[in-house]
Amino acid sequence: MAPVLPSAALAPPSTAAQRKSRTGYLLLFPGMTWLAVFFAIPFVTLFVTSLQSPIPGKTGRYQLGLEFGNYATALSEYWPAFVRSFAYAGIATLLALIIGYPLAYFIAFRSGRWRGLMLVLVIAPSFASFLLRTYAWKTILADESPVTSFFNALHLLPDGRILNTSIAVVAGLTYNFLPFMVLPLYAALERIDPRLIEAANDLYASPATAFRKITWPLSMPGVVAGTLLTFIPASGDYINAELLGSTKDRMVGNAIQTNFIEFRDYPTASALSFALMAAILVLVFTYIRRAGTEDLV
């Protein structure tokens, strides 16, 4: 890890090593304190808030409590939103993998000296506002648009429309988080020695066999990282559901936002948020264990 510096080896060992480590802690301290206070501790306050109970007679004011019932009420009311969040995010992740893999493969093996430019083009869309890009899909997927007419001509749309259905929400999620899939896939594919694939071809493996036996297994770390980096933000997103879906397509994020900011029902909102994080952690750990890669972090 840390390169051993020759001058450090020559200097008197004890004082130099000590000073070094003290400088290390000094460099870490401000940033790590910031993360501890504004990232780690808020999870504790979130949990505490999720157990608070209302002060009778004062709306929007809550007192310390151990109301585990908050979780039951929140989940019994919003469990369909939970199911939708994970279903939409799961389908979007799968679609992003299917769309993103060829792109990552193309950049890693076929783009030659244009590779740097291609990577810029993958992240460039993020320079235009996330909200406006999502909003633009309202135009692209509108009822009279060519896209909708095309799918209608094939009789593929159950409602005859895309906008304000769950299809639009999943399409928006797939689009928005695609770069998070492509970049880790690219990083994994780029590390593969092309001679391995050539060797497979020399040994009369068909391109499909070579892909199945060599490329795909070697790209697994990228697949795992990409699916996680797509699934996690997608399951917490509510912008796509709000702008592209109907009220029947609301996700957990919508419920957390409405309860926190509009209803000022902080305990319910906190319970939903904490439950979302817990559910994601459980899913992620099961997934990582089944995928068999632990060198992610």
SS3 string, 227-278, reads HHHHHHHHHHCCHHHHHHCCHHHCCHHHHHHHHHHHCCCHHHHHHHHHHHHH
Q: Is 54 in the site for another protein (CB under 8 A)?
A: no
Pair 234, 88: CB distance under 8 Å: yes
State which of residues 75, 87, 94, 136 lies at the interface with another protein (CB under 8 A): 136
State which of residues 63, 73, 129, 201 lies at the interface with another protein (CB under 8 A): 129
Q: Is 187 in the site for another protein (CB under 8 A)?
A: no
Q: Which is nearer to another protein, 91 or 172 (CB)?
A: 172
Q: Which is nearer to another protein, 91 or 271 (CB)?
A: 271
DSSP secondary structure letter of residue 53: E
Secondary structure class of 132 (helix, strand, coil): helix
In this structure, the chain runs to a length of 297
Interface stretch with another protein, choices 74-82, 132-140, 215-223, 286-294 (CB under 8 A): 132-140
State which of residues 54, 75, 135, 157 lies at the interface with another protein (CB under 8 A): 135
Question: What is the distance between the alpha carbons of residues 81 and 238, in angstroms, rounded to a whole number?
Answer: 11
State which of residues 40, 83, 156, 282 lies at the interface with another protein (CB under 8 A): 40
Interface stretch with another protein, choices 44-52, 76-84, 152-160, 198-206 (CB under 8 A): 44-52
112: left (phi over 0), alpha (psi -120 to 50) or beta: left
- The distance of closest approach from Cβ of residue 203 to another protein in the complex, given in angstroms and rounded to an integer, is 20
- The distance of closest approach from Cβ of residue 54 to another protein in the complex, given in angstroms and rounded to an integer, is 14
Distances (CA, A) of 55 to 62, 64, 65, 265: 5, 10, 11, 12
- The distance of closest approach from Cβ of residue 78 to another protein in the complex, given in angstroms and rounded to an integer, is 13
227 to 256, contacts with another protein by CB under 8 A? 228-229, 232-233, 235-239, 243, 252-253, 256
Q: Is 32 in the site for another protein (CB under 8 A)?
A: yes
Question: What is the distance between the alpha carbons of residues 65 and 50, in angstroms, rounded to a whole number?
Answer: 9
Q: Is 151 in the site for another protein (CB under 8 A)?
A: no
Q: Is 280 in the site for another protein (CB under 8 A)?
A: yes
Q: Which is nearer to another protein, 86 or 166 (CB)?
A: 86
Distances (CA, A) of 130 to 124, 239, 268: 12, 9, 28
Q: 146, exposed or middle or buried, with CB in 10 Å at 0-12, 13-18, 19+?
A: exposed
State which of residues 75, 94, 99, 157 lies at the interface with another protein (CB under 8 A): 99
Print the binding letters for residues 201-220 with another protein: x by CB under 8 A, - otherwise.
--------------------
160 to 179, contacts with another protein by CB under 8 A? 175, 178-179
Q: Which tokens sit at 126? A: 């993020």
Question: What is the distance between the alpha carbons of residues 110 and 103, in angstroms, rounded to a whole number?
Answer: 10
